């Protein structure tokens, strides 16, 4: 009973936070693009990508990870890796909005995906490409609620890249849009994944496209 009440309170609090933030952002009139990249020019534009290296260590990947997927240039294939960005001179603002297309390739079985803003966790969730395995998204991981695989995806029948290359649900696509109260002049954002298998981009990987960071102000 106690767990049920805690879960209900969590969901109600999260709903109120989202509704209040949506109400605030609707009245914000000044919009300034801080960063935008569709990767069509094969230019990272200052993004850092960290992951497993050929020598078995973990660090900054020294080569360009932009590639053609399904006739779109995307940044990936990543596994137990992170995309990191930092901005030093933001314009005056009260909210930051982060937008990107998230591609999940091959075998995702409610594996973790994480977004951090200035070191704070803004999304810890799980995704699944297997119709027999539920996923956390759009809820947080382990909050007591799961959804069918592919819930709220833009596409669930995209081609896989390797282990699910010839399967009907090889990759999925989600449009992630997340607004955060923010007023500091500096900003750090990190996108990452976690889970088995480690450093096996054939079995499981992810990519992003159409990344956009927007500063909003009244």
The full 3-state SS of the chain, as one line of letters, equals CHHHHHHHHHHHHHHHHHHHHHHHHHCCCEEEEEEEECCCCCCCCCCEEEEECCCCCEEECCCCCEEEECCEEEEEEECCCEEEEEECCCCCCCEEEEEEEEEEEECCEEEEEEEEECCEEEEEEEEECCCCCCECCCCCCCCCCCECCCCCCCEEEECCCCCCCCCCCCEEEEEEEEEEECCCCCEEEEEEEECCCCCCCCCEEEEEEEEEEEEEEC
Task: Tell me if 78 is assigned to some domain.
Answer: yes
Total number of domains constituting the chain? 1
Task: Tell me if 89 is assigned to some domain.
Answer: yes
What CATH code is carried by the domain that includes residue 156? Answer: 2.60.120.1310
- Model confidence at 19: pLDDT above 70: no
Task: Tell me if 24 is assigned to some domain.
Answer: no
User: 93-136 pLDDT, tens per residue?
Assistant: 999 999 999 999 999 999 999 999 999 999 999 999 999 999 99
- Model confidence at 3: pLDDT above 60: no
- Comparing 20 with 185, which gets the higher pLDDT? 185
User: 183-207 pLDDT, tens per residue?
Assistant: 999 999 999 999 988 889 999 999 9
Q: What percent of the chain has pLDDT over 90?
A: 78
> Which residues span the domain enclosing 104?
30-217
Task: Tell me if 2 is assigned to some domain.
Answer: no
């Amino acid at each position: 009973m106690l767990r049920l009440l805690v879960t209900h309170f969590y969901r109600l609090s999260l709903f109120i936070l989202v509704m209040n933030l949506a109400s605030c952002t609707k009245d914000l009139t000044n919009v300034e693009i801080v960063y935008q990249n569709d990767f069509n020019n094969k230019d990272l534009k200052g993004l850092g990508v960290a992951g497993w290296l050929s020598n078995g260590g973990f660090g900054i990947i020294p080569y360009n990870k932009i590639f053609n997927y399904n006739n779109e240039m995307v940044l990936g294939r990543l596994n137990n890796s992170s995309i990191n960005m930092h901005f030093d001179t933001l314009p005056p603002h009260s909210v930051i909005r982060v937008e990107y297309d998230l591609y999940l390739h091959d075998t995702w079985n409610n594996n973790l995906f994480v977004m951090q803003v200035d070191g704070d966790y803004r999304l810890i969730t799980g995704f699944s490409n297997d119709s027999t395995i539920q996923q956390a998204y759009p809820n947080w991981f382990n909050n007591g609620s799961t959804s069918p695989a592919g819930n709220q995806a833009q596409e669930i029948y995209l081609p896989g890249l390797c282990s699910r290359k010839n399967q009907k649900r090889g990759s999925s696509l989600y449009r992630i849009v997340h607004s955060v109260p923010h007023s500091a002049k500096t900003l750090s954002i990190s996108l990452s994944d976690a889970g088995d298998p480690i450093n096996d981009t054939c079995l499981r990987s992810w990519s992003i496209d159409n990344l956009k960071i927007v500063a909003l102000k009244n």
